[in-house]
Chain A
Amino acid sequence: MSQPSVEIVDLHYAYPDGHSALSAVHLHLHPGEKVALVGPNGAGKSTLLLHLNGILSHQTGELRICGLDVNAKNLGRVRALVGLVFQSPDDQLFSPTVFDDVAFGPIYQGLKPAQVDERVHAALSQVHMEEYARRVSHHLSVGEKKRIALATVLAMQPEVLALDEPSAGLDPRARRTLIHLLSEMPQTMLVATHDLPMVRELFTRTVVMDQGRVVADGPTAQILRDAALLEAHGLEMP
């Protein structure tokens, strides 16, 4: 069997003030697997996503992306392998035009202008927004911004997508578009969300986190049926 895309073994992390944010987290994601990460606010979902591309670094445990240890030496490679999409697209879109925003990753990698161009157009077409290249990011709707934010990481051709609340704040139509989009993506995917109907629709496997720990990990259908489990961790049956 091929090596896992994401391999987390006994990961611990505490904030500088000593407050423990993650403890004893184990998680394996196989290539192409789509996994939902659910749990109450403050459960450690975002903190875990930030570890995947080394924005936060774990104190103990092991963390490998496509077989690469996440450490200072591999940081650059890991960041290209993991596309991290933040909850607020405004944080991710800081250039005058959509093109500049999507081009950030490829330019940073040192690609030639022609390659950058190609990557940007490929990424925009994956989110069905090719005609937006010359638009001003600031003027887009939330749904459009979220799709552009996704394109900014697709342009880096990542193996793993780590998405934080992709459907939050979207109107029903924009949410529907996004769900379609995510179902088309071939990458390994770890998605932190409160949107359980989307989880049921899109993900075969669900991981429940609470207070920095993985409290359940299994087939989505089984987890979303377990009323007691959901209630114990501040979730509601969809």
Chain B
Amino acid sequence: MHVHFLDPYQDRPSLLHRLDARVKLLAALAFILTTSLTPPGIWAVYLLLLAGVVAAELLSDIPLGYYQKRALLALPFILAALPLPFTVSGTPLWTVSLGAWSLTASQEGVVRLLSIAFKSWISLQAAVVLVSTTAFPDLLMALRALRLPRLLVAIIGLMWRYLFVMVDEALRLMRARTARSGESAQAGLRPGGSVLWRARVAGGMAGSLFLRSIERSDRIYMAMLARGYDGEVRSSSTPRVPGREWLILTLFLFLLGALLALSLLLRAS
């Protein structure tokens, strides 16, 4: 069983795929920051930001449905913000009565809740666009260009390399457990064991995975030494970002700045 399907990168020949990873990373981060800075309830600006990210999705040549499916990931977290309409004070909208209890929703609270949901939704899409159009090695290069310590980048790179191996191993462990999770023909037996025992078995699996990983890392280290590794992480020089792409980034940042200014104006008015 192979888990390459985990890698969100989708190889396509689109405009967005060809854009330099550094440009895309900076653009995505700036987009998310702008979204975060936009005050609650500035719907016009939210719509423009949404249009921006959907435009990027269209340019990436990947079906919109794919993005929406991945963007649902943060949905459960909305639970955390659900009480807002009833706790933020402001213009009352409606009242729910549950026997002796009554809760009044305020307009300000509803606006804040919807704003959080909307911002979360578009930020997530921006992140999905980034990883779906940028191969992992390019993303690592972009992180290095952002002055992430070399050592950390090297560790994350190695982690990525073995991620699929480890996930495969975890899945095989679970499969082997499932294979022996049988029921006896003997009547009156409840299969499954106790919760404590099940947790201990899962712990054993985690421990065995961890232990084998420690031993594997020793072998990897020796294999690296055998090829002349001396602890120094060297990286090949990275190509320059073409001037045209700098221009695109500058333009994009300028637009985001303008949107931010617009949102602040709209809020003040």
**When chains A and B are docked, how far (Å) is the Cα of A55 from the Cα of B172?**
11
Stretch touching chain B among A5-13, A33-41, A93-101? A93-101
**At the interface with chain B, which of A103-111, A199-207, A215-223?**
A103-111
> Which residues from A are CB-within-8-Å of B5?
17
Q: Does B183 contact A (CB under 8 A)?
A: yes
List B residues 172-196 near A (Cβ within 8 Å).
172-173, 175-186, 189-193
Chain B residues with Cβ below 8 Å from A80 are: 182-185
A94 interface neighbour in B182, B185, B192, B201, Cβ under 8 Å: B201
Residue of B whose beta carbon sits closest to that of A153: B180
Q: Is A211 an interface residue (CB 8 A)?
A: no
- CB of B180 within 8 A of CB of A110, answer no
Q: Does A191 contact B (CB under 8 A)?
A: no
| Interchain nearest-CB distance for B153 vs A (Å) | 31
17 interchain pairs, CB-CB under 8 A = A50-B175, A55-B178, A76-B181, A79-B181, A81-B182, A94-B173, A94-B207, A95-B201, A104-B177, A104-B201, A108-B182, A108-B191, A109-B191, A110-B189, A110-B192, A138-B208, A156-B180
User: Which residues of the partner chain A approach B197 to less than 8 Å between Cβ atoms?
Assistant: 107
In the assembled complex, how far is the CB of residue B179 from the closest CB belonging to chain A, in whole angstroms?
4
Q: Does A53 contact B (CB under 8 A)?
A: yes
**In the assembled complex, how far is the CB of residue B10 from the closest CB belonging to chain A, in whole angstroms?**
14
- B169 → A minimal CB distance (Å): 7
With A55-B179, A156-B182 as known contacts, state yes or no: A100 contacts B169, CB within 8 Å. Answer: no
Q: Which residues of A contact B (CB under 8 A)?
A: 17, 50, 53, 55, 76-81, 84, 86, 88, 90-96, 100, 104-105, 107-111, 138, 152-153, 156
User: Nearest Cβ in chain B — how far from A79, in angstroms?
Assistant: 4
CB pair A84 B183 closer than 8 Å: no
Residue of A nearest to B209 (CB): A94
> B42 within 8 Å of A by Cβ?
no
**Interface of chain A, helix or strand or loop or mixed?**
helix
Chain A residue with Cβ nearest B212: A90
Contact B172 A86 (CB under 8 A): yes
Determine the chain A residues whose CB is within 8 A of the CB of B191 once the complex forms: 76, 108-110
CB within 8 Å for A109 and B204 given contacts A55-B178, A78-B182: no
Known: A17-B5, A109-B191. A90 touches B182 (CB 8 A): no
Which of A17, A108, A111, A156 sits near B192, CB closer than 8 Å?
A108
Alpha-carbon gap, A71 to B212, bound state (A): 35
Collect the chain A residues with CB atoms within 8 Å of residue B178's CB. Answer: 55, 79
Partner of A91, one of B169, B182, B183: B169
Find chain B residues with CB under 8 A from A53 CB: 179, 182
Q: Kindly state the separation between the CA atoms of A156 and B181 in the bound complex, as whole angstroms.
A: 10
Q: Is the CB of A55 within 8 A of B175?
A: yes
Q: Which residues of A contact B184 (CB under 8 A)?
A: 80, 109-111
A107 to B189, CA, bound (A): 10
Per the 8 Å Cβ criterion, residues 155-175 of B in contact with A are 169, 172-173, 175
B189 in complex: contacting residue of A50, A86, A109, A152, CB < 8 Å = A109
B208 and A110 within 8 A (CB): no
| Neighbouring B residues of A96 by C-beta, 8 Å | 204, 207
Q: How far is the CA of A80 from the CA of B183 in the complex (A)?
A: 6
User: In whole angstroms, how far apart are the Cα atoms of A84 and B179 in the complex?
Assistant: 6
Q: Which residues of A contact B204 (CB under 8 A)?
A: 94-96, 100
A91 partner residues in chain B, CB cutoff 8 A: 169, 172-173, 175-176
The reply to whether the CB of B47 lies closer than 8 angstroms to some CB of chain A is no
Q: Which residue of B lies closest to A77 (CB)?
A: B183
Cβ contacts under 8 Å, A156 to chain B: 180, 182
Residue contact B175 to A94, C-beta cutoff 8 Å: no
Q: Is the CB of B182 within 8 A of A105?
A: yes
B208–A94 contact, CB under 8 A? yes
CA distance A53 to B183 in the complex (A): 12
From B186, B193, B201, B208, contact of A90 by CB (8 A): B208
CB distance from B247 to the nearest CB of A (A): 40
State the Cβ distance, B95 to closest chain A Cβ, in Å. Answer: 47
A96 — nearest CB in chain B belongs to which residue?
Answer: B204
Q: When chains A and B are docked, how far (Å) is the Cα of A81 from the Cα of B179? A: 11
Of the candidates A76, A80, A86, A91, the one having the most CB atoms from chain B within 10 angstroms of its own CB is A91
Q: Is B205 an interface residue (CB 8 A)?
A: yes
Q: B207: which A residues are within 8 A, CB to CB?
A: 94, 96
A residues less than 8 Å from B175 (CB atoms): 50, 55, 86, 91
CA separation between A91 and B176, bound complex, in Å?
A: 6
- Asked whether, in the complex, the Cβ of A109 is within 8 Å of the Cβ of B182, the reply is yes
**Contact present for A79 and B182 (CB under 8 Å):** yes
Which residues of the other chain, B, contact A152 by a CB distance below 8 angstroms?
Answer: 180
